[in-house]
Amino acid sequence: MNWDTFLAPYAQVVDELKVKLKGMRQQFEYEREQSPIEFVTGRVKPKTSIIEKARRKAINPEDMREELQDIAGVRVVCQFVDDIYSVVTMLKNRNDFNILEEKDYITEKKESGYRSYHIIIQYPVETIHGKKMVLAEIQIRTLAMNFWATNEHSLNYKYAGKIPKDIQARLKRAGEAAFLLDEEMSKIKHEIQEAQKIFNRKEDQKRKT
């Protein structure tokens, strides 16, 4: 298989989605409204990870496009938990892709302690051979959930998926602490947003003078 040709439409989806989601954030800024989106990242799954995942899930190479949903992955990071659901609603109202599946790992966290909201979409990409429908995964999570997931991902890499039991237990406790942090911050969301508005106005004035 020619990997460059295989991955090209995925790279295009990631680039296009990043532009669109960052654009949503900018629109909130232009309209002087608090954006539910803090930042957006994206990546195409590396070849070795695709091969490893296909092997682990016993997927035939010719079925990879249909069976592997996260070759193209975009991550939306939010300040507060309810921002996640605002982003989900905004994504559902868009007409430029179809939503195939939603996974709410926030109300139902994973066994590892992982929390995040996943949306699997089917995204139309214009290629030189015509339109191609490409699967992509959008992960939406808070800064605290992202901090936890990034650390857990590093540990999984270090221990090749077999994190020692004592570290696993600590990670679970850290996951609960991160969620408690999210809940506490949600309770003072309006205070924080008021403060951020005042700060932004001051910064704006400084730039103009």
Binding stretches for ligand 0O2 (CB under 6 A): 45, 49, 53, 70, 103, 110, 112, 114, 118, 149, 152-153
CA dist 57 and 69 (Å) reads 12
Provide the token pair at 1: 């298989």
Identity of the residue, 94 or 153, whose beta carbon is nearer to ligand 0O2 in the bound complex:
153
Cβ at position 1, least distance to ligand 0O2 in Å: 19
137 is catalytic: yes
Identity of the residue, 18 or 53, whose beta carbon is nearer to ligand 0O2 in the bound complex:
53
The torsion angles phi and psi of 61, rounded to 5 degrees, stand at -55, -35
Identity of the residue, 23 or 161, whose beta carbon is nearer to ligand 0O2 in the bound complex:
161
Ranges of H-type helices in 31-101: 47-56, 64-67, 81-92
Long-range contacts of 190-194 (CB under 8 A, 24+ apart): 192/79, 193/34
Cβ at position 64, least distance to ligand 0O2 in Å: 12
Closest CA to 119 of 144, 140, 133: 140
Identity of the residue, 34 or 112, whose beta carbon is nearer to ligand 0O2 in the bound complex:
112
Three-state SS at 92: helix
Cβ at position 122, least distance to ligand 0O2 in Å: 16
CA dist 187 and 190 (Å) reads 8
Owner of token pair 């002087």? 32
Q: Roughly what angle, to the nearest 10 degrees, separates helices 189-208 and 165-187?
A: 70
Q: Which one is catalytic: 29, 137, 152, 194?
A: 137
Cβ at position 45, least distance to ligand 0O2 in Å: 5
Active site residues: 137
